[in-house]
DNA sequence: TTGTACGCGTTATCAA
DNA sequence: TTGATAACGCGTACAA
């Protein structure tokens, strides 16, 4: 605590300006009930003393901390950075502060964090990519803390969320490939244990194939994960099967870049020999070579939207609707137009 | 605030268990002065009521919030993610929470944030990449909030920092290139207005050249910045000069990847036709093709170290020493050994 | 071993 | 237009 300097309190200001604390408080909070003269006097005293209001004391009194807690997985992708930026910016703009907790790879210590956040009386909670396992959801519900989920949801508990429709997006990305003339399309998908971003994207992919009368080849489906290494492994396995394919749809940009990397290593020209489309549109998509065609999630806006919903929830105590955000296919240079559309 | 549910207070559990609040408080805080019997009784009451202590009230009383504020620029690199992870992990482990504020591109609203953090009575402050302009430093000093700087410093004001020696690191990276037989080496450096990461890296580069009797060619020095686009522009300009060079040292990994990208585009094989070394060792270094040789900063540890220093500073109120962290050259696949060492 | 009562810095009510 | 004063929920002398 600010070392040995003791900060001036409202009492000090009151004394110095010969008024009561009540009056000082009124002035601080822009209420009315004082003359212009006293206002000046008090302001002056505050300046001289370097008075700053003590938010803690205020919070105790008004039972509101203007703080929102954010739970997120500890993953080094710009994915969460963008979401977080959206959250922070919009929160700050509305005079909320943000306490961040990262939940390790396995969200092990999540309930501890929830506990801490609860004790700290956060006004609300935002959870990024909540684990499919519903225990955390249950805890959140029990805590009665207003919460909104970003890029995740619970099928069991009713918590408002903001995300894109992964099924649709994957369907659309796959269709895009098909429209460009691709027929042998592989996928490196997320794990099927992941009901949020794993299964729907795979299903969207599959359905697009079916709807276009393209037979599904087991060999061309690799269930891996969302990391660079998953892309590498997936692509290697794909190559090893000997099955022919002209395009691959990857579960994430990192994954796509991993695939891209082994393509390079094997002398495959992208997009001439092989097309790749990613997912997310994180920074790396524009930084890869060639720049990655990918389906974009409005990450920043998702973050922003989530706090908007949360604030509405907090202040009006009203139920808010979940929101499906729009996705978009960003055409860059990793898919070849085999036939013109 | 948790909707309409009013949380049980210490008073409620006191009443329910027929003891005084003092006793309950003792039990909560693991002090002594009560019988095992009453302890049980109280614990039971707490469980039944679902009591959680109110950290805000506690903070007000003990004048300590166990909160540290983090100021950081709003840049989408995994660079700050790693540092932040280090900060958060170590903070949480020591029962501190972290409030994040991002300072926009130009740190415009920094003093507002400082104000907010101060009013919220944070116990300490960590500032990432503090802007060279000393006004923020001055404000921090004036606030008397214990502070440590990460990957940045002030030449004017005395604030403890943790960073690597950019001059040394750049010198070392350049020497590495020279040792591998490179003589025509270009640099895409940060701006010379940046006295922290811009100038020292350039100077280290220059000095390494001089110490090896390599003449310095103005054409091969491009002062740009730390982003991908800077690498792109820098490399394009470099190519345009017609000056021959076999290697380029980039101010950051993002920058290096930008350079790499235009190399690809121009049909230059890396590392056969051109060697590149980056700076930072962020995620992208292993994800680029070919994987980037780069000088590594121990980002996570820097974050961790900074809160370690801060906590020491807070609890003992003792001055702490600045720390120079070690760097390391990570050899991957973007530099050609023209001659064996 | 336990309880009473005060104070932390605010806000808000009520009376003046 | 102002000022006493009672909360807010907790920790802690001090007394019992």
Q: A2, B145: Cβ pair inside 8 Å?
A: yes
Interval A51-71: pLDDT, tens: 999 999 999 999 999 999 999
Secondary structure element (H or E) that encloses residue A143, with its range: helix A135-143
Q: Does A166-297 match A67-164+299-325 at the fold level?
A: yes
Give the ranges where chain B is alpha helix by DSSP (H): 10-16, 21-28, 36-49, 55-62, 78-93, 110-119, 135-143, 166-179, 199-211, 228-241, 253-265, 283-287, 299-316
Query: Per-residue confidence of chain B (341 residues) as pLDDT tens digits?
Result: 334 568 999 999 999 999 999 999 999 999 988 999 999 999 999 999 999 999 999 999 999 999 999 999 988 889 999 999 999 999 999 999 999 998 877 777 888 999 999 999 999 999 999 998 888 999 999 999 999 999 999 999 999 999 999 999 999 999 999 999 999 999 999 999 999 999 999 999 999 999 999 999 999 999 999 999 999 999 999 999 999 999 999 999 999 999 999 999 999 999 999 999 999 999 999 999 999 999 999 999 999 999 999 999 999 878 899 999 999 999 999 999 987 65
Give how far the C-alpha of residue A88 lies from the chain's centroid of Cα atoms, to the nearest Å.
11
Measured in angstroms, the CA of A193 and the nearest CA of chain B are apart by: 26
Residues A119 and B65: their CA atoms lie apart, in Å, by: 12
Task: Tell which residue, B266, B261, B320, B329, has the closest CA to residue B295.
Answer: B329
Measure CA to C1' and name the residue nearest D9: B57
Residues A120 and B120: their CA atoms lie apart, in Å, by: 12
Quickly give B89 CA vs C6 C1' distance in Å: 39
Q: Best residue in B51, B86, B100 to probe A by mutation, most A CBs within 10 Å?
A: B100
CATH assignment, A1-49: 1.10.260.40
Question: What's the CATH number of domain A166-297, 3.40.50.2300, 3.20.10.10, 3.30.1330.10, 3.40.710.10?
Answer: 3.40.50.2300
**A59 vs B contacts (CB less than 8 Å):** 56
Task: Tell which residue, B143, B145, B116, B111, has the closest CA to residue B130.
Answer: B111
The domain limits of chain B are 1-49, 67-164+299-325, 166-297
Q: Is the CB of A229 under 7 A from strand C?
A: no
Q: Best residue in A6, A56, A102, A254 to probe B by mutation, most B CBs within 10 Å?
A: A56
| Report field, pTM of the whole predicted structure over 0.85 | yes
**A56 vs B contacts (CB less than 8 Å):** 56, 59-60, 65, 120-121
Number of H helices, E strands in chain B: 13, 12
Q: Is the pLDDT of residue A20 over 90?
A: yes
**B65 vs A contacts (CB less than 8 Å):** 1, 56
Residues B2 and A123: their CA atoms lie apart, in Å, by: 7
Residues A305 and A316: their CA atoms lie apart, in Å, by: 16
Question: What's the CATH number of domain A67-164+299-325, 3.40.50.2300, 3.90.1200.10, 2.40.50.100, 1.25.40.10?
Answer: 3.40.50.2300
Quickly give B84 CA vs D11 C1' distance in Å: 33
């Amino acid at each position: 605590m600010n070392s040995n300097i003791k900060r001036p309190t409202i009492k000090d200001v009151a004394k110095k300006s010969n008024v009561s604390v009540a009056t000082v408080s009124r002035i601080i909070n822009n209420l009315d009930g004082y003359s212009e003269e006293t206002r000046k006097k008090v302001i002056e005293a505050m300046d001289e003393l370097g008075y700053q209001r003590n938010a803690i004391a205020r919070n105790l009194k008004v039972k509101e901390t203007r703080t929102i807690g954010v739970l997120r997985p500890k993953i080094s992708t710009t994915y969460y950075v963008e979401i977080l930026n959206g959250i922070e910016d919009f929160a700050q703009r509305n005079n909320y502060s943000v306490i961040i907790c990262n939940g390790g790879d396995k969200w092990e210590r999540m309930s501890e964090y929830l506990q801490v956040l609860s004790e700290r009386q956060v006004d609300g909670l935002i959870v990024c990519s909540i684990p499919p396992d519903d225990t955390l959801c249950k805890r959140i519900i029990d805590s009665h803390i207003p919460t909104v989920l970003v890029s995740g949801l619970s099928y069991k508990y009713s918590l408002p969320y903001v995300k894109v429709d992964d099924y649709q997006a994957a369907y659309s990305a796959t269709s895009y490939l098909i429209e460009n003339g691709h027929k042998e399309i592989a996928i490196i998908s997320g794990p099927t244990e992941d009901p949020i971003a794993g299964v729907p994207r795979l299903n969207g992919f599959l359905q697009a194939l079916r709807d276009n009368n393209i037979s599904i080849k087991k060999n061309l489906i690799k269930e891996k994960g969302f990391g660079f290494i998953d892309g590498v492994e997936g692509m290697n396995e794909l190559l090893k099967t000997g099955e022919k394919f002209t395009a691959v749809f990857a579960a994430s940009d990192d994954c796509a870049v991993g695939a891209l990397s082994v393509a390079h290593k094997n002398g495959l020209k992208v997009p001439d020999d092989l097309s790749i489309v990613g997912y997310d549109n994180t920074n790396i998509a524009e930084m890869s070579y060639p720049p990655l065609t990918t389906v974009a999630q409005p990450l920043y806006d998702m973050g922003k939207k989530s706090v908007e919903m949360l604030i509405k929830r907090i202040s009006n105590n009203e139920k808010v609707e979940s929101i499906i955000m729009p996705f978009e296919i960003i055409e860059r240079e990793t898919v070849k137009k085999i036939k013109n559309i």
